[in-house]
Amino acid sequence: MVGTLGMIMTSPGQTYSVSIFIEHFINDLGISRSLVSTLYTAGTLIGSFALPIVGRQIDRRGARAVMLIVAALFAGHSAVSASNLAING
């Protein structure tokens, strides 16, 4: 159950989920396919810098505790982003 939820939670950042929306990104944002790909690559590389830190924390504290912290951080970031979007339209 936990593994399935983890896969569902990470699917928005995975290539198979992002590829569904590439045409929408291009049309809605008015940017080229190569820029979408460049931004996705940059995001992936920037995100990968956190992996050694998270890995060390998993070794020290356990996967369950770290997943709880990461999920709380993502939820907080999503709430702040959504409120900014609602305010700024």
The rounded Cα 69 to chain-centroid distance in angstroms is: 15
- Together in a domain, 80 and 70: yes
Please report the pLDDT score of residue 61 as a whole number: 95
The Cα–Cα gap between 67 and 83 comes to: 24
Count of domains in the chain?
2
pTM check: above 0.85: no
What average pLDDT values come out for the chain (89 residues) when binned by 10 residues?
A: 71 70 90 91 87 93 93 92 82
- Together in a domain, 56 and 82: yes
Range of the domain at 75: 50-89
- Together in a domain, 32 and 54: no
Please report the pLDDT score of residue 72 as a whole number: 95
